[in-house]
């Protein structure tokens, strides 16, 4: 990599006055790795430098970038470099480098070690989320060169990328990063499924691509005629791995997927988003029930946009996504896009970043209380690795739950006492069964009776959250 280019890119992210430290870090890493090559044949140091560029793109601060440049040096000569890093680059950088090193490889080998690695990961994340951001940049660079490993090793790395890193990137709102990780890992982790999918969707994909190319100028013209400024309009092809997952849900019926290639429109601000939506609906009929306002009700990972399916040219259905430049950046970089508003490394109390990270400290607290690794992994699968929904209390408070949660999960999420005395539930003002699957945006009212003596054993069969499960089991145990 050209060093001058490298320094220029880093400087535009962190500013001139940090560059001395960055240059010292590069020098240090070059020295530490001078006798080490990657399997690709290149000098080892190229890897941390590329990862650091990724962090610069995510607009992370100088400490994180310096730590990233150094992130593999402790693996060379730990004792010697420990104190040198502390002295030269400060405690903060050392903490990050050590955090990344301690995580080591999150090996998906045997359940016990897998659970242990995950525990370590969330402890590190809860003390400083930059540790996982460095780890994500590191992983992103590593999955780009998977072909150099033998089959066993590259399959393992690809699988843990799909099962651990991509979901974490998603939970941090880093949609672009998640997509890149998944699309690099999917063909390696699931070779057969990937090849089958490619064959199956090839034609539909190409047709849809041509179609979107044809309609973009028409949509653009309609917007401009209505005096809506269009910052950018382009076709967005659905990523392969998310298409794979969606197709499985839809019984592999490709005709039911309307966002194979979607039209994405960037307009200057929020009012323009709604104006654009109005203009488009005035011209092309929207599909009933397919309008999603993720601006008024963002997804739990912070994603914002307007989505609508319209009958466009030749009455074909196409998905249109409308957002402003801030939403666009946030959707790509998630938590990292907010990082530059953060002073002194740690996000302020009550800030967007802090609120978006609350689940990490919750998780770190919870994992301390769970000794059984099987229970732990099961809980994690629901809490991190599943999609989340937003459900409302009658007062309009938002409760964030895993997909397929029930009113009982909702009640326990509010308070274990409320769950224990629950007798019935009203969903969107209709009396509903306690085992009903909640949908995003539902309003749930819990009806409880102090005279009720406790939860029912049957509830254990349908509750989804670890909180509800634990509370019910505890009550039953104490009262049996
Ligand atoms: Mn590395």
The answer for 460, left when phi > 0, alpha when psi is -120 to 50, beta otherwise, is: alpha
Tell me how far the alpha carbon of residue 101 lies from the centroid of ligand 1, in angstroms. Answer: 9
Report strand pairing: 317-323 vs 261-266: parallel
- Please tell me what DSSP assigns to residue 476: H
Tell me how far the alpha carbon of residue 64 lies from the centroid of ligand 1, in angstroms. Answer: 14
Tell me how far the alpha carbon of residue 72 lies from the centroid of ligand 1, in angstroms. Answer: 6
- Please tell me what DSSP assigns to residue 295: T
Tell me how far the alpha carbon of residue 306 lies from the centroid of ligand 1, in angstroms. Answer: 37
CA distance 471 to 460: 10
Is residue 52 exposed (0-12), middle (13-18) or buried (19+ Cβ within 10 Å)? buried
Q: What is the pLDDT along the chain (480 residues), one digit of tens a residue?
A: 899 999 999 999 889 999 999 999 999 999 999 999 998 899 999 999 999 999 998 888 899 999 999 999 988 876 788 888 999 999 989 989 988 887 765 544 455 666 776 777 777 777 778 888 899 999 999 999 999 899 988 998 898 898 888 888 887 878 889 999 999 999 999 999 999 999 988 888 888 989 999 999 999 999 999 999 999 999 988 899 999 988 988 888 888 888 888 999 999 999 999 999 999 999 999 998 889 999 998 887 778 999 999 999 888 899 999 999 999 988 877 776 665 544 444 555 555 556 566 667 676 677 777 777 777 767 666 666 666 777 888 877 777 788 889 999 999 999 999 999 999 999 988 999 999 999 877 889 999 998 988 999 999 999 998 889 989 999 999 987
CB within 8 Å of 175: residues ≥ 6 apart: 303, 331, 332, 334
Say if CB 273 and CB 194 are below 8 A apart.
no
Tell me how far the alpha carbon of residue 220 lies from the centroid of ligand 1, in angstroms. Answer: 44
Tell me how far the alpha carbon of residue 60 lies from the centroid of ligand 1, in angstroms. Answer: 17
Whole-angstrom Cα Rg for the chain: 25
Tell me how far the alpha carbon of residue 67 lies from the centroid of ligand 1, in angstroms. Answer: 11
Collapsed DSSP state (helix, strand, coil) of residue 403 = coil
Tell me how far the alpha carbon of residue 47 lies from the centroid of ligand 1, in angstroms. Answer: 7
| Start-to-end Cα distance in the chain | 67
Tell me how far the alpha carbon of residue 49 lies from the centroid of ligand 1, in angstroms. Answer: 10
Q: What is the pLDDT of residue 53?
A: 96
Q: What is the pLDDT of residue 212?
A: 93
Tell me how far the alpha carbon of residue 171 lies from the centroid of ligand 1, in angstroms. Answer: 22
The answer for 464, left when phi > 0, alpha when psi is -120 to 50, beta otherwise, is: alpha
Tell me how far the alpha carbon of residue 191 lies from the centroid of ligand 1, in angstroms. Answer: 25
Tell me how far the alpha carbon of residue 473 lies from the centroid of ligand 1, in angstroms. Answer: 43
Tell me how far the alpha carbon of residue 348 lies from the centroid of ligand 1, in angstroms. Answer: 30
Place of tokens 């047709």: 207
Tell me how far the alpha carbon of residue 71 lies from the centroid of ligand 1, in angstroms. Answer: 6
Helices vs. strands in the chain: H and E counts, helices first = 20, 10
Collapsed DSSP state (helix, strand, coil) of residue 391 = strand
- Please tell me what DSSP assigns to residue 107: -
Q: What is the pLDDT of residue 343?
A: 46
- In the chain, helix, strand, coil percent, each to 5? 60, 10, 30
E strand segments, 331-461: 388-392, 398-402, 422-427, 430-432, 444-448
Tell me how far the alpha carbon of residue 44 lies from the centroid of ligand 1, in angstroms. Answer: 9
Tell me how far the alpha carbon of residue 339 lies from the centroid of ligand 1, in angstroms. Answer: 22
Say if CB 227 and CB 255 are below 8 A apart.
no
Tell me how far the alpha carbon of residue 395 lies from the centroid of ligand 1, in angstroms. Answer: 48
Place of tokens 């929904």: 389
CA distance 359 to 122: 10
Q: What is the pTM of this model?
A: 0.74
From the centroid of its chain, how far is CA 463?
A: 24
Which backbone phi and psi does 367 adopt, to 5 degrees? -65, -25
Place of tokens 């104190």: 83
Tell me how far the alpha carbon of residue 440 lies from the centroid of ligand 1, in angstroms. Answer: 38
Which backbone phi and psi does 423 adopt, to 5 degrees? -120, -30
Tell me how far the alpha carbon of residue 52 lies from the centroid of ligand 1, in angstroms. Answer: 10
Tell me how far the alpha carbon of residue 102 lies from the centroid of ligand 1, in angstroms. Answer: 12
Tell me how far the alpha carbon of residue 132 lies from the centroid of ligand 1, in angstroms. Answer: 12
Tell me how far the alpha carbon of residue 174 lies from the centroid of ligand 1, in angstroms. Answer: 20
Tell me how far the alpha carbon of residue 201 lies from the centroid of ligand 1, in angstroms. Answer: 35
Q: What is the pLDDT of residue 50?
A: 97
Residue 305: enclosing H or E segment and its boundaries? none
Say if CB 355 and CB 310 are below 8 A apart.
no
**Closest alpha carbon to 186 in 208, 166, 215:** 166
Tell me how far the alpha carbon of residue 97 lies from the centroid of ligand 1, in angstroms. Answer: 11
Tell me how far the alpha carbon of residue 138 lies from the centroid of ligand 1, in angstroms. Answer: 5
Collapsed DSSP state (helix, strand, coil) of residue 81 = helix
Tell me how far the alpha carbon of residue 396 lies from the centroid of ligand 1, in angstroms. Answer: 45
From the centroid of its chain, how far is CA 76?
A: 32
Q: What is the pLDDT of residue 341?
A: 46
Tell me how far the alpha carbon of residue 346 lies from the centroid of ligand 1, in angstroms. Answer: 24
- The two tokens of residue 166 are 């991509």
Tell me how far the alpha carbon of residue 53 lies from the centroid of ligand 1, in angstroms. Answer: 13
Tell me how far the alpha carbon of residue 479 lies from the centroid of ligand 1, in angstroms. Answer: 52
Give the ranges where 58-189 is alpha helix by DSSP (H).
62-69, 78-103, 111-127, 130-143, 151-160, 166-171, 175-189
């Amino acid at each position: 990599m050209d060093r001058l280019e490298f320094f220029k890119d880093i400087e535009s992210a962190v500013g001139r006055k940090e560059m001395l430290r960055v240059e010292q870090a590069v020098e240090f890493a070059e020295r530490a790795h001078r006798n080490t090559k990657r399997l690709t044949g290149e000098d080892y140091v190229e890897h941390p430098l590329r990862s650091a560029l990724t962090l610069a793109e995510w607009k992370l601060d100088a400490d994180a970038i310096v730590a990233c440049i150094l992130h593999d040096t402790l693996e060379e000569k730990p004792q010697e470099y420990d104190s040198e890093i502390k002295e030269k680059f400060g405690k903060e950088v050392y903490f990050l480098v050590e955090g990344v090193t301690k995580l080591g490889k999150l090996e998906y080998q045997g359940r016990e070690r897998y659970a242990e690695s995950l525990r370590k990961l969330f402890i590190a994340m809860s003390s400083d989320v930059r540790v996982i951001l460095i780890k994500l940049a590191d992983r992103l660079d590593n999955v780009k060169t998977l072909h150099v490993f033998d089959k066993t090793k590259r399959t393992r790395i690809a699988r843990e990328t799909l099962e651990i890193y991509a979901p974490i990137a998603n939970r941090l709102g880093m949609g672009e990063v998640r997509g890149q990780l998944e699309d690099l890992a999917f063909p390696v982790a699931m070779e057969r499924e990937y090849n089958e999918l490619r064959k199956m969707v090839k034609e539909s994909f190409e047709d849809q691509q041509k179609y979107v190319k044809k309609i973009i100028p028409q949509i653009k013209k309609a917007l401009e005629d209505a005096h809506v400024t269009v910052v950018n309009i382009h076709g967005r092809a659905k990523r392969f791995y998310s298409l794979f997952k969606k197709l499985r849900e839809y019984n592999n019926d490709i005709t039911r997927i309307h966002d194979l290639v979607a039209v994405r429109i960037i307009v200057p601000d929020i009012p323009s988003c709604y104006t654009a939506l109005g203009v488009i609906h005035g011209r092309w009929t929207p599909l009933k029930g397919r309008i999603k306002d993720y601006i008024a009700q963002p997804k739990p990972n912070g994603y914002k946009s307007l989505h609508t399916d319209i009958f466009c040219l030749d009455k074909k259905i196409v998905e249109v996504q409308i957002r402003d430049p801030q939403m666009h950046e946030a959707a790509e970089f998630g938590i990292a896009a907010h990082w530059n508003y953060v002073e002194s490394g740690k996000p302020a109390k009550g800030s967007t970043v802090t609120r978006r990270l609350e689940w990490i400290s919750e998780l770190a607290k919870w994992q301390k209380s769970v000794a059984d690794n099987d229970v732990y992994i099961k809980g994690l699968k629901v809490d991190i690795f599943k999609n989340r929904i937003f459900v409302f209390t009658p007062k309009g408070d938002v409760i964030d739950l895993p997909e397929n949660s029930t009113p009982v999960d909702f009640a326990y999420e509010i308070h274990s006492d409320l769950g224990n005395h629950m007798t019935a539930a009203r969903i969107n003002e209709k009396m509903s069964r306690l085992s009903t699957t909640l949908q995003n945006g539902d309003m749930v009212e819990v009806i409880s009776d102090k005279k009720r003596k406790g939860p029912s054993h049957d509830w254990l069969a349908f509750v989804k959250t670890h909180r509800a499960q634990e509370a019910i089991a505890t009550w039953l145990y104490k009262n049996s």
